């Protein structure tokens, strides 16, 4: 994932960090009598997957925290951002950490409001100053603002759209005919400005195209002509109009987009989006964001709970736009308008490693294979750059390492013994 070294033959690890990346001869020069050598025998090593927006920390005990971490490690995830921690959730997390070690690098974002516009206790966030240290296992980089109420379990509204919602959809979600907003542009800009002055990064839940307008304008207003050094983010970006695409780069706002498949749902609706054909060009526009904003680190996110999808599933969806049916395991073919939005494997891998590391303010230490970075590594059963795209779903995670320590091992021959030196 480093631009000047797209692939290499060998990596040397010393303690918690990568010592060297290069060819066999120069890397073996670092070996000593106690060095553990691992031959991948044709498998592929990558930096660990970085998921900047997920929700695995909704647990009630330390045991469930450990179980959740093991599930994610088995899927190759080594760094996460858990977005939306209300006061009660933060208490549970801190309590669990008293008796359970973090094995995955975790950034927690504190909730300013809820999907139903419930504002958290005034200034509770300020009781928890930002923790931005990229070497820390537990961090609090910033806050989460819900710009709209959209969500699969939400019945208090829907994301504001530029098109009329189907009447039955609006009724089911208790939404207005064009959806609902939770904060005005002025209110959101004030919240961003207040918290960035205190060092917090801000991430904004924005599914509808109207919310995207509000978020982009609010970030621009809060920055007041300065570059986005706070790395304020817009999450989901499910519906983005063509005229909005270049504004991300102009404002410097970082978009994170879903890898979750939608092909099965559209197969059930005759291949047409339920909001109408007009919104089809707006839906899940990952490749369009990349094309319109060269150099902007567009990131993927899973947005799942404790035992949801794994990164390989989303890699498959981003690259093929196909999906595996949860009902019977069959492959759902995407309609033509969705199939046209595929992302290259190279772009998808960057969206799942170095780009989300940047979105979390952790790119100095994770997200790529580079000397001096943490040895957060995964071994895959084959090379995602060379297998048939339809076979991406069959890739297996054979080993996951975090900070030089093997945290998941599916084949013992590929798992080096962790050493203290």
pLDDT, averaged across the chain: 92
Residues 2 and 113 in one domain: no
Residues 220 and 244 in one domain: yes
Q: How many domains does the chain have?
A: 2
Segment 344-376, tens digit of pLDDT:
999 999 999 999 999 999 999 999 999 999 999
Residues 42 and 18 in one domain: yes
Residues 42 and 96 in one domain: no
Residues 57 and 111 in one domain: yes
Residue 303 confidence (pLDDT) above 80: yes
Residue with tokens 């927690």: 108
Residues 141 and 4 in one domain: no
Residue 231 belongs to a domain = yes
The candidate with the shortest Cα–Cα distance to 286, out of 264, 317, 324, is 317
Residues 258 and 324 in one domain: yes
Q: What's the pLDDT score for residue 262?
A: 84
Residue 135 belongs to a domain = yes
Sorting pLDDT into bands at 50, 70 and 90, what band is 151? low
Residues 20 and 158 in one domain: no
Sorting pLDDT into bands at 50, 70 and 90, what band is 418? low
Three-class SS of residue 50? Answer: strand
Residue 216 belongs to a domain = yes
Range of the domain at 17: 1-46+369-377+396-421
Segment 61-112, tens digit of pLDDT:
556 888 899 999 999 999 999 998 999 889 988 988 888 899 999 999 999 9
Residue 14 CA: distances (Å) to CA of 102, 368, 370? 21, 16, 13
Mean pLDDT calculated for residue range 151-170:
83
Residue 121 sits in a domain of what CATH number? 3.20.20.140
Residues 90 and 36 in one domain: no
Residue 385 belongs to a domain = no
Residues 118 and 129 in one domain: yes
Sorting pLDDT into bands at 50, 70 and 90, what band is 421? very low
Distance of CA 13 to the CA centre of its chain: 26
Residue 152 confidence (pLDDT) above 60: no
Residue 382 belongs to a domain = no
Q: How many CB atoms lie within 10 A of CB 413?
A: 11
**Phi/psi at 213 (5° precision):** -60, -50
223, 164 contact by CB (below 8 A): no
Q: What's the pLDDT score for residue 143?
A: 97
The candidate with the shortest Cα–Cα distance to 306, out of 61, 8, 130, is 61
Residue 409 confidence (pLDDT) above 90: yes
Residues 34 and 139 in one domain: no
Mean pLDDT calculated for residue range 223-247:
97
Residue 383 belongs to a domain = no
- Rounded CA-CA distance 51/73 in Å is 12
Q: What's the pLDDT score for residue 174?
A: 83
Residues 131 and 236 in one domain: yes
Mean pLDDT calculated for residue range 238-267:
93
> Looking at residue 143, what DSSP letter applies?
E
| Rg of the chain in Å (alpha carbons) | 21
Residue 401 confidence (pLDDT) above 80: yes
- Rounded CA-CA distance 407/416 in Å is 11
Q: Is 116 exposed, middle or buried (0-12, 13-18, 19+ CB in 10 A)?
A: middle
């Amino acid at each position: 994932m480093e631009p000047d070294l797209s692939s290499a033959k060998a990596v040397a690890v010393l303690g918690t960090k990568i010592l060297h990346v290069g060819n066999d001869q120069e890397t073996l020069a670092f070996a000593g009598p106690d060095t553990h050598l691992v031959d991948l025998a044709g498998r592929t090593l990558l930096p660990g997957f970085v998921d900047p927006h997920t929700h695995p920390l909704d647990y009630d005990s330390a045991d469930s925290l450990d179980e959740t971490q093991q599930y994610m490690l088995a899927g190759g995830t080594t760094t996460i951002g858990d977005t939306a921690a209300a006061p009660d959730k933060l208490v549970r997390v801190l309590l669990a950490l008293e008796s359970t070690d973090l094995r995955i690098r975790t950034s927690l974002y504190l909730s300013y409001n809820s999907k139903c516009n419930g504002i958290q206790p005034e200034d509770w966030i300020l009781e928890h100053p930002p923790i931005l240290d990229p070497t820390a296992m537990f961090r609090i980089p910033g806050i989460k603002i819900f710009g709209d109420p959209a969500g699969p379990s939400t019945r208090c509204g829907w994301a504001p759209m530029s098109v009329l919602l189907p009447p039955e959809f609006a009724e089911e979600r208790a939404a207005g005919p064009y959806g609902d907003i939770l904060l005005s542009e002025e209110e959101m800009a004030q919240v961003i400005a207040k918290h960035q002055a205190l060092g917090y990064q801000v991430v904004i839940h924005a599914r509808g195209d109207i919310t995207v307008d509000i978020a982009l304008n609010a970030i621009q207003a809060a920055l007041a002509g300065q570059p986005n050094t706070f790395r304020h983010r817009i999450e989901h970006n499910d519906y983005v109009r063509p005229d909005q695409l270049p504004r991300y780069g102009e404002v410097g706002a970082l978009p994170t987009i879903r890898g979750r498949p939608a092909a099965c749902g559209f197969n059930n609706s005759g291949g047409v989006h339920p909001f109408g054909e007009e919104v089809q060009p707006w839906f899940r526009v990952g490749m369009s964001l990349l094309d319109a904003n060269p150099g902007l680190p567009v990131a993927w996110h899973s947005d799942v709970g404790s035992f949801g999808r794994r990164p390989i599933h989303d890699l498959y969806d981003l690259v093929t736009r196909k999906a595996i049916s949860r009902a019977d395991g069959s492959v759902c073919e995407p309609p033509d308008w969705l199939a046209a939005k595929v992302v290259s494997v190279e772009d998808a891998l960057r969206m799942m490693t170095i780009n989300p590391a940047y979105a979390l303010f952790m790119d100095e230490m994770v997200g790529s294979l580079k000397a001096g970075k943490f040895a957060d590594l995964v071994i895959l059963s084959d090379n995602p750059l060379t297998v048939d795209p339809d076979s991406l779903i069959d890739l297996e995670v054979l080993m996951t390492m975090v900070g030089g320590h093997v945290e998941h091992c599916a084949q013992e021959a590929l798992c080096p013994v962790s050493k203290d030196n």
